[in-house]
Chains A and B, each alone.
Chain A
Amino acid sequence: MKNFKILEHSADLEIRVWGRSKEELFKKTMLAMEQALKPKIKNREIQTKIKIESENLEALLVDFLSEINYLNEVNQEIYQKIKFEKFFDTEIEADLFGKKVERFGLQIKGVTFHNLDIHQREDGLWEATIIFDI
């Protein structure tokens, strides 16, 4: 299954992602965002923990990606794997695994709520559409 698709948006970056579960959807959205940053990756491996609480599933996705974006920039790291310790519609705890980064090719200014959509399709797949301000 294709992981994600970049949609046409005149000023920003809009992506659509699919997953067999909400966990997989979150993971793939994270991987799509990390790819969009066009990182030049170093060899040193890193690992970190995150904990997010939000009011609903949509806010959780935005807050989760905003947190990853923050960690990317401040720690100069990229995340390639995620292991969820806890996953509820309003709360996540996870271990992130990745590598140090020499530089990024793009900076994401914000993870937006604009036209944000998360839903389960008739075929059972979860689908998310999200816009990043770049």
Chain B
Amino acid sequence: MISQKDFKKINDFLWEIPKSFWIKMRVPARLYLSDKMWNQIESRALEQLVNTTTLPGIVKYALGMPDLHSGYGPPIGGVGAIKIPEGVISPGFVGYDENCGVRLLKSEYNDKEIASYLDRLAVEIQKKIPSGLGRGRGIKLGLGEIDKILEGGVPYLVKKGYGGEEDIENCEEKGKMVQAEAAVVSDRAKNRGRDQVGTLGSGNHFIEIQKVAEIFDQAVAQIFGLFQGQVVVMIHTGSRGLGHQNCTDYLRVAMRTLPKYKIELPDRELACVPFESPEGQRFFRAMSAACNYAWANRQMITYYIRKAWQTVLTKKTDLKLLYDVAHNIAKIEEHLVDGKRTKLLVHRKGATRAFPPGHPEIPFQYKEVGQPVLIPGSMGTASYILVGTEKSAEAWYTVCHGAGRIMSRRAATRRISGSEVVRELESRGIVVKCWSMRGIAEEAPLAYKNVDEVVEVVHQVGLAKKVARLVPLAVIKGE
């Protein structure tokens, strides 16, 4: 069992297991964590982090963020950069929900102005955006249309009238990975996606109407267009059944081809293929397509939230996109490795990209200050907006993605009932619209780490800087 004693303390918030710990490690494993958070780290997640260091082509170290928890193959909250073309690509290091991510919409209202409309807004949003576990959107797209979404992402939907130019500009990758190829996504995956564009999904996915409760950096907040008391809408969801099927399909391809490429791994779910191999290239193009689907999904949800806003409120109905960022993805990026610019395939699994000021890949209006980084909390707790810094070059410009679970769903439902959770939220004035009481219990805040502590580690280390703290006004979890 791996534990804190196996780690060397590098500084107050950074720990390392050296390469000498195990013969199969290609690089050290590093973990960003505060002293007091050690008791919330599972041994299984640490083992998975160490296993991740065995991936062929991994450079410098495998990284764990303070929200680290166990997944399958690499841990959630795990980051690894693989040297390409010689290294590998791993479906399990992206995760089953390809391009699960977060976007934030800014309203022109403050919380007091909107108080009397809050319940109606929540009802309207819930009505317009199904979870997709029931009747779906009610519209079943043809496979040809799905192909257009897979290759066209957000720009395709904007062209069709489902958004504006700013929705493209303020989305990671401008809402479309150009490497996407619909032909390498299976028909089974596409079938699952036909009635799920604009649906929320289950589990920890949510829409929240929030308010800006605290601003930490006034200058950056101003550039982001944020003000104290401002009402914002956060959307957390991913590529739905299409992405899940795509990961399932390619994980099996990777497992079957391990002997062909003579790759030996300590865990099957780490399965990977050489990036340059036909299988590796097909997966990269298919994953890119699923990522486009996820961005399109969040765009379509945005479209319906804007409709709800217009239905309930008569004036000041603008909802501008602050930013949209993925936290389950693998991307080609250039980083400095030992002083040399190097092409890397950065895998982020439950980890958020956070580019610094001046980076060419962030929107023009944020260039001076850095990329907006969106960190959702667990249901009913705070969420954060941070900004990327140069310091996070050491983590391939990456930070945490949320609070991270510490309690199983079963344990959570034993400890607290759905109606108790709802009562507790309502007693704090939070409106709750959900379909399943049990689902609510499983996502109770007590099942998660404290997001304030997780974000504090990132902020103290300097991987990103806090800009604003958001608190929920309404939680919406599908029809």
Contact = CB atoms under 8 A, between A and B. Distances in A.
A102 to B, nearest CB: 6
B241 A73 contact: yes
A55 B133 contact: no
A107 B133 contact: yes
Interface string A99-112: 00011111111111
Interface stretch (B242-250, B329-337, B360-368): B242-250
Nearest to A133: B96
Contacts of B42: 10
Contacts of B406: 10
Interface stretch (B71-79, B390-398, B421-429): B71-79
Interface residues of A, number: 33
Nearest to A11: B405
Interface string A8-37: 111111000000000000000000000000
A105 B441 CA distance: 13
Interface residues of B, number: 43
Contacts of B201: 107
A41 B129 CA distance: 22
Nearest to B203: A134
B267 interface: yes
B252 A63 contact: yes
Contacts of A103: 133-135, 435
A38 B241 contact: no
B96 A114 contact: no
Nearest to B409: A13
B228 interface: no
B411 A8 contact: yes
Contacts of A106: 133, 202-203, 439
A105 B438 contact: yes
Contacts of A66: 248
A64 to B, nearest CB: 12
B411 A107 contact: no
A102 B69 CA distance: 34
Contacts of A59: 252, 255
Interchain residue pairs A-B with the least CB separation, the first 5: A103-B134, A114-B72, A110-B96, A109-B96, A112-B72
9 contacts: A9-B408, A11-B408, A70-B245, A103-B135, A104-B134, A104-B202, A110-B72, A110-B96, A112-B269
Interface of A: 6, 8-13, 38, 40, 55, 59, 63, 66, 70, 73-74, 102-114, 116, 131, 133-134
